[in-house]
Amino acid sequence: METILAFLVLVGILIWFHELGHFLFAKLFGVKVEVFSVGFGPALFKKQWGETEYRLSAIPLGGFVKLYGEEDGISDPRAFSFKPNWQKILIAFAGSFFNFILAVLIFWLIGMLGREVPKYAFEKPVVGYVQENSPAQKMGLQRGDLILSVNSKRVDNWKDLEEKLLKEIFEQELKLEVLRDGKVLTLEGKMDLKNPRGFGAEPIIEPVVGTVLENSPAKQVGLQEGDRILSINGVEIKSWQEAVKLIRSAEKMDLKIERQGQIREITLIPMKDPRTGISMIGVAPKVETIKVKQDPFEAFKGSLERIAILTSLTLKALWGMITGSLSPTNLGGPIAIAQMAGQSAQQGLIPFLGLMAFISVQLAIFNLLPLPMLDGGLILLFLIESIRRKPLPLKFKEAWQRLGFALIVALSLFVILNDLLRLISGKKF
């Protein structure tokens, strides 16, 4: 229920803001707005206010603003078709523009409110653990390496490293400079977009229990916050990552822990994730965090920078799908969004707002694609008409709309099928 509610709140706000852009720009240019609807299908609630009917409709996967005189041939100054093409283009563009504005405002607010960040994010990027079969391992990165640069760009801390890797994620080649045993080495490789765990190099995280989930195997045997895991089934544990690796494949676990200076031994049976079959005991590491807040100017600047990065990465991802270098199976649909919304809502307001801003950018860019039925498709038609200096034939516009409807239906079915297959296979969205 929490997941559904989080999904409805997230999608409702995004759609409302998008349609608000169309609405306000239509009003700005004197176009009569007949209907403002959040959602499609039968109206659950509607109210006439002035010349506009406001609706909340049953299918919360979109929305629309119905403008008076959208069809050609209406000689009325308040008709959409009567307006010059540059005004039509701005009205069509306004929805995506408002989604960008929403994302900027959210990231700005997050920056000023502050968010909890692991303390290690501001420490030097000394590798504490390298995941198996990760890009980091394939490049030859080793525990103890100090990462100095990524593609000749200096790296100061783990946060800086994460940002540099994010910007380089679609680059064909990745070059790291590392300090190992007093010598500077150059390691080469590439990012693997199919790897769900990312780059694969992590800081040292001490094997100390932070959170113990209710009704979990760990809770049932009495594991507590602050317990240090010394060994699992006789294997000495030096980091949290080593503990996780052993837990995932264990059928039974003999734990040796240290609690308040005393050594204790505990035996427990892990539970299995029903989707993946991976063993879990219901604990999370104890990671010291610090709250990072920015003044309004810094937060606004950071917000714009984040929007620029997200936009660039999204466009590169779309181009990768067009050229075939990135699989379309990476696309997520409503099920993926609902799951992410539920997970982020459980983590708190800041993660939920961050997800909303992220999806708002994706929605803005997607709607600007020059495809029929999308705002970008309308803009393309208006640009062509501006060049031709006369309207396009009615039959062409009707065929364009039918093509758009077919494309949207096909894309919707594809992403929903994608979501279902990932849900069944147990892959994370």
Q: For residues 10 and 351, give the distance between their C-alpha atoms in angstroms, rounded to a whole number.
A: 12
- Options 2, 19, 188, 206, the catalytic residue: 19
As a whole number of angstroms, the distance between CA 372 and CA 230 comes to 60
The DSSP H or E segment spanning 341 is helix 334-347
Which tokens hold the place of 170?
A: 């679609």
Helix (H) or strand (E) holding 52: strand 52-67
> Contact, 288 vs 118, CB < 8 A?
yes
Distance of alpha carbon 244 from alpha carbon 218, whole angstroms:
13
Give the span between the Cα atoms of 281 and 283, in whole angstroms. 6
The one-character DSSP state at 393 is P
Is 70 an annotated catalytic residue? Answer: no
* Residues 344 and 6 sit within 8 Å (Cβ to Cβ): yes
Which of the 8 DSSP states describes residue 251? Answer: S
Catalytic positions, please?
Answer: 19
